[in-house]
Amino acid sequence: MLKKKSLGQHFLQAHSYISLIAGTASLREGECVLEVGPGEGALTRELLSRGAKVTVIEKDHRLIPILKETFKKEIKAKQLTVFEGDALEMSLADIKIKGAYKVVANIPYYITGALIKKFLSEKNPASRVVLLVQKEVAERVAREKKESILSLSVKVYGDPKYIKTVPRGAFVPAPNVDSAVLLIENVSRKNLKDAAAEAKFFALVKTGFGQKRKLLKKNLEKLLGTNTSALFAKAGIPENARAEDVSLSQWLSLAAAKIK
């Protein structure tokens, strides 16, 4: 078993969970799937068996020949395309994805936030995203109360759902924490229709969470100016609210007012 700790790789081996991830993607015959971090191809094989047309991005150069040898028939039939590189640095154009697609990934914990943001904020976003992430991250993203920068960063683009816990023993080598399958569906840019709206929304959220001990109003006064109280009232936000207690719709109300 090849492994490279510096890349944060832990290979999922338990077939029941591999099947669960593929099933959560709700694949149809011929659908395009982007898989990030295929490792030695256990999940890749399951996606292919369900009739998907799969594109994989693998950063570890030592795994590329293994993938190409294991799936040489599928590659020849153009059902599978293998790219070597860093998913954070590659665009959809680089991997030749143009139309509708879904994302399925077992992503390294240390780049979870960055990869989620990249998947969801594409001009042509995936219709459905299924991620195997650290359990704590999935819980934070999918919970309905006590928001965070990460949860709002996901919810502004789609609807997250915690599917199931995946115990650490299902991986080789076993990580130090449990994982979970996270589904993000109904992905779109309806809330942030252009780059300006996106930049202002995230600037507002990051400033709001900047000093957690302070009330949200205090954190945002410099950004919103003298109309802060009026904007809070319009958005239905209590004067004594903290950033984590404010819903996505309330954040969007503040952002819309500021954009005007």
258 phi, psi to nearest 5 deg: -70, -40
For residue 190, being part of any structural domain is answered with no
Domain count, the chain: 2
Q: Same structural domain for residues 178 and 216?
A: no
pTM here is 0.88
For residue 142, being part of any structural domain is answered with yes
**Helix axis angle, 15-24 relative to 42-49, nearest 10°?**
50
Q: Same structural domain for residues 72 and 164?
A: yes
% pLDDT > 90, the chain: 71
Q: Starting at the earlier edge strand, list the strands of the sheet with 102-106.
A: 80-84, 53-58, 32-36, 102-106, 128-134, 179-185, 159-166
For residue 45, being part of any structural domain is answered with yes
Q: Same structural domain for residues 177 and 203?
A: no
Q: What is the pLDDT of residues 42-82, one digit of tens each?
A: 999 999 999 999 999 999 999 999 999 999 999 999 999 99
Q: Vertex 65, ends 62 and 68: CA angle to 5°?
A: 140
Query: Strand, coil or helix: what is 48?
Result: helix
Q: Which of 252, 250, 235 minimizes the C-alpha distance to 191?
A: 252
Q: Best-predicted range by mean pLDDT among 6-15, 77-86, 189-198? A: 77-86
Mean pLDDT of the residues in the chain: 90
pLDDT at 1 over 50: no
The CATH number for 167's domain is 3.40.50.150
Q: Model confidence at 108, in pLDDT bands (50, 70, 90)?
A: confident
Q: How many residues does the chain have?
A: 260
Q: Same structural domain for residues 51 and 123?
A: yes
Q: Same structural domain for residues 26 and 55?
A: yes
Q: What is the pLDDT of residues 157-173, one digit of tens each?
A: 999 999 999 998 888 88
Q: Same structural domain for residues 176 and 201?
A: no
Q: Same structural domain for residues 153 and 63?
A: yes
Q: Same structural domain for residues 180 and 216?
A: no
pLDDT at 256 over 70: yes
Q: Same structural domain for residues 74 and 25?
A: yes
Per the structure, the complete domain to which residue 202 belongs is given by 195-259
* Domain final residue pick, 185, 219, 248: 185
The CATH number for 230's domain is 1.10.8.100
Q: What is the pLDDT of residues 109-165, one digit of tens each?
A: 778 888 888 889 888 899 999 999 999 999 999 988 899 999 999 999 999 999 999
* Domain final residue pick, 185, 207, 234: 185
For residue 126, being part of any structural domain is answered with yes
For residue 200, being part of any structural domain is answered with yes
Q: Same structural domain for residues 170 and 202?
A: no
Q: Which of 106, 133, 125, 18 minimizes the C-alpha distance to 142?
A: 133
CA–CA distance, 127 with 33 (Å, rounded to integer): 10
Q: Same structural domain for residues 150 and 209?
A: no
**Residue 220's Cα: distance from chain center in Å?**
27
Q: Same structural domain for residues 36 and 111?
A: yes
